[in-house]
Structure 1
Amino acid sequence: MNGSSRPAGPTGGDRRAGTAEPRNRPGFMIVGALLPLVGVPLLVGGLALGWALMTQRDGDGFFTTSTEHISSPSVALTTRALDLGDLGPDDWWADRDVATVRLRVTSREPGPVFVGIGPSDAVAAYLRDAPYDEITDITDNDPFRYTLTRHGGDADSAPAPTRQGFWTAQASGGGSQELTWDLRPGTYTVVVMNADGTAGVDVDVVAGGRLALLTPLAAGLVLVGLALVAAGALLLVRGAGSASPGAPPARPGTRLTADETPPSGFEVSPVRVTGIQDAHLSRGLWLVKWVLVLPHLVILAALWLVFAVLTVVAFASILFTERYPRSIFDLNVGILRWSWRVAFYATSALGTDRYPPFSLTARDYPADLDVAYPERLSRRLVLVKSWLLALPHLIVLSVLSGTWGWTFGNDGARLSAGGLIGALTFAAGLLLLFTGRYPSSLFDLLIGLNRWTYRVIAYVALMTDQYPPFRLDQGPTEPGPGQIPGSFTPRPDADEAATEASLDADGDAQAAASAGH
């Protein structure tokens, strides 16, 4: 027997006259979900590159390596041939100083040192008769490692490099020498050796590079990423539909603003989470619901990327204006609402067998979520509430929703377990599967745990300054005036309710019979 303690959610006939049914546009939603998947990585990459440009360069705009020691008993140290392309249609960058390299070489020997860059063919011909080592397999791990590969002949020395005319760029002298060169098409080799051409090279080297296009590239990535995220958000809103202006909400109850309280003075939470349990639930449908909601999960993955980016935008707005932009607020509330519907259906409550709508707006559905819009938000709180003030709640949420693991035994066996919400939802599914019943007390507890979770999410997402209460408001609806916060009256299960109704009917019949006599 399938049973539950509560009637089904509202039907279409319960909707107020004049309420416009939002219209979905799947094409807009698909494109809107895909755009943030491209835009967010571009935005993050642009911000990371901008951070590196501001913090990791030296005063001349070069990214540099640490100082590394390289030595060889041969005449010279060389790099592999560096192929920078040929002159032709693709050498647009050749005269624009797009890329610049800098080498700073300091000899550990008393004599002068030479560092030069030249055409690879000319360098090979110059060092043909003398032994020289090519540096390969460089790793920048600690410690610094490299491999030397011997080339050339067996002469004791080479002609002085300072007397050769083929060098593209060169520097020589005592102490530390610095070479700076703007890259040009061709094939080049870097050479470090003693200025007199004798054997035995012992130097400290610092390499650096500068790309002129990195700054506009970072700005472009940020702008394109923001544009794609914004376009995706607009398409998702357009595709998910919205009710006509002035239409009442498609759910019972009166919407309050963040600054209002009911007449009794009872302070309601600005975050309202509701979930009405279906009267009859399928025994086994919950086993495949996670597959059925995969289209929702794909779209929600993109929506939560949008949520994160827009929360950063809202942070800046609150910091400077004390206002959360209404359009961003409504979109983020819609994302929370959509997430709660999917969780209520498939993962965190199993409260209904009605498939959740692809919509950001309020609909005729057993599960709903709303957040009262705050007219003003504190500039000071916005700096600390998401990470510091919310920390106790985040610890609680790690227990409610997190995944825990234990490693034991010599073979490193690992046992993993979901959070409390996942465990209780699984237990509810097993009860449905084997008994056909879903106890209302268990359902009320799950709704309370989810309500706590979404209150904290809204607080961390800067949507309210009202601190989430440390209490478990169980039951399908939010506590109202005259009800003690955190308390609820347990409802009998369906079988118990049917028994009570039968006893009441028998009593009424006996009373009527007595009156007839």
Structure 2
Amino acid sequence: MTKPASIVMLVVGITLSIFGFALTAGGAAAALLASGQGDEGYFTSRTERYTVASYALVSPQLDAIGEGTAERLPFDVGTLRLRATSADPDGSVFIGIAPQGDVDAYLKGVHHTELQEVKFQPFRPVYRDIPGSSTPALPAGQPLWVASASGPGQQELTWNISAGNWTVVVMNADARDGVSADLQAGFRSELIKPAATGLLLSGTLALVLGVPLLVAGAIGLGRHGGATAPAVLQAPLVGEQRQEPAGIIGHPVRLGGHLDPALTRWMWLVKWFLAIPHFFVLFFLWFAFAVTTVVAWFAILFTGHYPQSLFHFNVGVLRWNWRVAFYVYAAGGTDQYPPFTLGRTNYPADLDIDYPPRLSRGLVLIKSWFLLIPHLLIVGAITGTATWAWRTNDGPAGVVGDRGGGLSLLALLVLIALVILLFTGRYPQPLFAFIMGLNRWVYRVLAYGALMRDEYPPFRLDQGPDEPDFVEPPGRNRRDGHL
């Protein structure tokens, strides 16, 4: 298979697979929703209290079906059920649905309130007050309602949804101002189950076509990925043994990055923008990486071998990601634009992983999650976001809720180094060495979690631009993964 053909297969496979996963997830959610219908087949919201000082509370325009749609549709869209109870035990409530234009005419010049949105956790409705000086007529006597209910206690209306622009109106039955009511909405439709079935079937078909194409494309690119490595990261070819001094063993995951001695002071300010094409490609490559890792999981479980072409493809994805990370956010160590390739190049940052001749069939069941827990805590501390929170007000209604943001430890250190570069023209060498050690730790853990090696990542911060060799401690067996 030629390289262009592999690229086409990979692109088509990724597109179909993403589409298939999205449809399948939507179908599963719809099926779960359909199976969870209760209360006479309705999906219901929580009952919440809405209180306004005006004469009427109106909903936003209900135009989900769309203006210009035929009045009578060839299928039943669904049924809307609304329940309202006056907050005053002795009061009566009115609730009705009418065309938007008719409601506007009825409430013209009347002080009323529009419900714009509802925010949860905590519950808080957001209103828009519409001033007026007129007093409305009694709502129950108006001919505009397509469905309505009025009286003391709980009132309920049901309405078969039809095309048009509609508005829900809640008022006191006697048309006095100061509306306070407990409201609940419910929806029922016979379309949910067939829609779920259709989504599941379409998604499954897309996956059946897409995943094999994706894997075939990755295999083809993996076979074409054996470019010449720079000397500092030169990996052995398949079947060759690394020639190293006795007692000296380099880590099988080798990450390197060399600081550009002539870094531009300001270039890092625009690298995020310049790297957008890489981010776009990497989004799809990481999706392919996840799929091929699942395929490799089954291959290792049943054969004890990681498919060699898939291995080289996944190494290429990690290599591509590291070059972009080194260029932009994980180090900012070079102004040289990253190449668009999975193969090894003479770029200042590169990564390589020795292909394992055999992998443990038992470890594959637990090493990606259970064995990695200590390392995941450390990597979380390195790359996780340190957040701070604050509260904001949204108009007179009060608190919206907690919001936050922050930087990871790695991002903070890189930012400090780049700010120093901006003002002094120099990237601090000790800080660069430390940043490289953090990245090296992260990628070792990533490779282990992606099933690419059985050697357990060392709890060691190997700093510096190049992957250091180390002396094998007595009594430790690197081959079986116990370090």
Task: Give me the TM-score of the superposition, normalised by structure 2.
Answer: 0.58
Q: Is the 8 A contact 1:403 1:417 kept in 2?
A: no
Matched, 1:380 2:359: no
Among residues 181, 189, 197, which one is paired with 1:203 in the alignment?
181
The 3 A distance-change label for structure 1 pair 429 and 149 is closer
Equivalent-residue separation in structure 2 for 1:178 and 1:386 (angstroms): 55
Local SS of the residue matching 1:338: helix
Equivalent-residue separation in structure 2 for 1:322 and 1:25 (angstroms): 29
The 3 A distance-change label for structure 1 pair 477 and 144 is closer
Matched, 1:68 2:42: no
Local SS of the residue matching 1:103: strand
What amino acid sits opposite 2:83 in the alignment?
Answer: R
Q: Which residue of 2 aligns with 1:469?
A: 458
What amino acid sits opposite 1:338 in the alignment?
Answer: W
Structure 1 position 235, deviation (Å): 11
The 3 A distance-change label for structure 1 pair 114 and 314 is same
Q: Which residue of 1 aligns with 2:469?
A: 479
Listed as ranges, the matches of 1:15-414 within 5 Å are 54=32, 59=38, 60=41, 62=43, 64=45, 66-70=47-51, 90-91=69-70, 94-107=73-86, 108-110=88-90, 114-119=94-99, 134-141=112-119, 142-144=123-125, 146=127, 147=129, 161=141, 167-171=145-149, 175-192=153-170, 203-209=181-187, 212=191, 215=196, 243=223, 252-254=234-236, 269-273=251-255, 284=262, 297-306=275-284, 308-310=286-288, 312-313=290-291, 323=301, 326=307, 329-341=311-323, 357-363=339-345, 367-373=350-356, 374=359, 376=361, 377-385=363-371, 389-395=375-381, 397-398=382-383
What amino acid sits opposite 1:360 in the alignment?
Answer: L
In the alignment, structure 2 segments of 5+ residues that lack a partner are 389-405, 476-483
Structure 1 position 165, deviation (Å): 7.4
Q: Is the 8 A contact 1:83 1:188 kept in 2?
A: yes
Higher relative CO (CA 8 A, sep ≥ 6), structure 1 or 2? 1
The 3 A distance-change label for structure 1 pair 124 and 338 is closer
Instruction: Provide the identity percentage.
Output: 28
What amino acid sits opposite 1:332 in the alignment?
Answer: N
What amino acid sits opposite 2:82 in the alignment?
Answer: L
Which shifted more, 178-187 or 285-294?
285-294
Q: Is the 8 A contact 2:265 2:425 kept in 1?
A: no
Structure 1 position 310, deviation (Å): 4.5
What amino acid sits opposite 1:140 in the alignment?
Answer: V
Equivalent-residue separation in structure 1 for 2:143 and 2:417 (angstroms): 81
Equivalent-residue separation in structure 2 for 1:145 and 1:346 (angstroms): 41
Task: Give me the TM-score of the superposition, normalised by structure 1.
Answer: 0.55
Local SS of the residue matching 1:378: helix
Q: Which residue of 1 aligns with 2:393?
A: none
Equivalent-residue separation in structure 2 for 1:433 and 1:71 (angstroms): 61
The 3 A distance-change label for structure 1 pair 96 and 25 is same
Q: Is the 8 A contact 1:233 1:306 kept in 2?
A: no
Query: Could you give the per-residue CA deviations for residues 254-280 of structure 1, whole angstroms, max 9, x where no partner exists?
Result: 3579xx9999787764423356x7xxx
Q: Is the 8 A contact 2:149 2:157 kept in 1?
A: yes
Q: Is the 8 A contact 2:265 2:423 kept in 1?
A: no
Local SS of the residue matching 1:383: coil
Q: How many residues align?
A: 429
Which structure is larger by alpha-carbon Rg, 1 or 2?
1
The 3 A distance-change label for structure 1 pair 79 and 168 is same
Local SS of the residue matching 2:369: helix
Structure 1 position 455, deviation (Å): 1.0
Equivalent-residue separation in structure 2 for 1:193 and 1:347 (angstroms): 56
In the alignment, structure 1 segments of 5+ residues that lack a partner are 1-21, 406-413, 486-517
Equivalent-residue separation in structure 1 for 2:101 and 2:426 (angstroms): 78
Query: Could you give the per-residue CA deviations for residues 292-312 of structure 1, whole angstroms, max 9, x where no partner exists?
Result: 988983343134423543565
